[in-house]
Structure 1
Amino acid sequence: MPKKVDRQERRTQIADALMRVAAQQGLEAVSLRHVAAEAGVSAGMVQHYFRTKDEMMTFAMDVVRDRNEARITAALGALGPAPEPRDLLRTFLVTVLPLGDESRADGRVALAFLAYKAVRPASAPALREETAQMVSFMAGLLPDGDEKAAAGLLALMEGLGMYLLGGQYTDAEALAALDAQLERLF
């Protein structure tokens, strides 16, 4: 009798291998062959679960997004039943920033995925929607609900993320810059 395989689990295993290849060698190194080798499966098996590289990339991006959302939800939930808006906002931003080695590896992959999506016009509506949701969430936590200030805070977070990934800022320097901006807003 053939072994029963969980399709979602196998697709996630392949997506994890894709992310390891992307983190170690860059997104340009991602191919069905390289991902299969990293996952320890045949290229034919990868093609069984993903017809194209774009399909595999889209699934992997969804896995990254879902994991980030779970990490954010857990961090915000750890604040307790009635946290202050400033604490919610800071926790959200700190959780998204690539602080620490593991988070930096995820951040490099997320940055590569963002660059991948940015040159695909079909991705633009989804990117706009994700950005609008983040700005709306952050504006709802600011004392005056200012969406422009929230957009600026999002830009600060993205810039700090780039500096962390590039090694220009240490974790402490990035957190100090973030805290200084939050102090201005609150």
Structure 2
Amino acid sequence: MPRTVDHAERRAQIIAALLRVAGRAGLHTVTMRSVAAEAGVSLRLVQYYFQSKAQLMHAALEHLERQSHERWETRQAQLPGPLSARDFLEAFLTEALPIDPESRTFHLVWTSYAVLAMTDPELAEQPFVAGPNRLERQLADVLRQAQADGEMAPGLDADAEAARLLTLNHGLGTSVLVGQRAPEAAMAVLRYHLDSLFGTREPISHPG
């Protein structure tokens, strides 16, 4: 009796192949044919699940965002609680830095996607900024609560500070990705900025 095809599993297999190709040589080198070869399936099968390269890339980006969210939930469960707003933000933003193979792949693919979308109308049509927008709102909520709790100066603009934190973290991530600075140096810059918002304190220990 023929084995029933698990379509979700097959899609995941193809997406994983794209990420391996992109992780080795960059997203700009990815083709439907190279993904098919990496996955060990036919080109026609890849095209059955993803009608275009842009659709496949967007699916990979969504997969990475879900994976990143799951990593953060796991890290959050391991942290000592309750956390102050400053310690929560340090843990949250540190998790977003490319300091291990999984987070490095996420940064590489997302940054490459953003660059390609500037000149590829099909890629630009995909709403790949939804993730960063959601994170910025989450950071702003944490900062507003910190102001209400007296942890942060009430005169600061929580929305502007959230945008600045996220932009800083993206820049630090890129600097680590290209070898400009080590992960420890990036974390030192992040802590310096958090100290300017909340005051100096002992940094929390990060599992792993």
The two structures have a TM-score, normalised by structure 2, of 0.80
1:156 and 2:168 matched: yes
Distance 1:150 1:163, change over 3 A: same
Rounded to whole Å, the distance in 2 between the matches of 1:69 and 1:117 is 23
Q: Which has the larger radius of gyration?
A: 2
Shift of 1:114: 2.8
Rounded to whole Å, the distance in 2 between the matches of 1:12 and 1:114 is 22
Conserved in 2, the CA contact under 8 Å of 1:50 and 1:56? Answer: yes
As a proportion of its length, which structure holds more helix?
A: 1
For 1:97, what is the secondary structure of its paired residue? coil
Corresponding position of 1:179: 191
Two-structure CA RMSD over aligned residues (Å): 1.9
Conserved in 1, the CA contact under 8 Å of 2:172 and 2:186? Answer: yes
Conserved in 1, the CA contact under 8 Å of 2:14 and 2:46? Answer: yes
Report Cα offsets for 1:105-154 as digits up to 9, x if no partner: 33212221233445544235x51x43332222112222336111111111
Give structure 2 stretches of 5+ with no counterpart.
148-156, 199-208
Structure with more relative contact order (C-alpha pairs < 8 Å, separation 6 or more)? 2
- Percent identity, aligned pairs only, is 35
Corresponding position of 2:95: 95
Letter in 2 for 1:139: A
Give structure 1 stretches of 5+ with no counterpart.
none
Conserved in 2, the CA contact under 8 Å of 1:100 and 1:171? Answer: no
Conserved in 2, the CA contact under 8 Å of 1:164 and 1:174? Answer: yes
Conserved in 1, the CA contact under 8 Å of 2:68 and 2:103? Answer: no
Conserved in 2, the CA contact under 8 Å of 1:86 and 1:141? Answer: no
1:134 and 2:140 matched: no
Equivalent positions of 1:64-83 (< 5 A) are 64-80=64-80, 82-83=82-83
Shift of 1:77: 2.5
Report Cα offsets for 1:68-122 as digits up to 9, x if no partner: 1111122122225532211211111011111134432332122212334455442
Question: May I ask how many residue pairs the two structures share in their alignment?
Answer: 184
Report Cα offsets for 1:11-68 as digits up to 9, x if no partner: 0110010011111112221111100111111112212222221221121111111111
Distance 1:97 1:21, change over 3 A: same
Segment drifting more, 100-109 vs 28-37 = 100-109
For 1:167, what is the secondary structure of its paired residue? coil
For 1:123, what is the secondary structure of its paired residue? coil
Distance 1:131 1:28, change over 3 A: closer
Corresponding position of 2:54: 54
Distance 1:63 1:38, change over 3 A: same
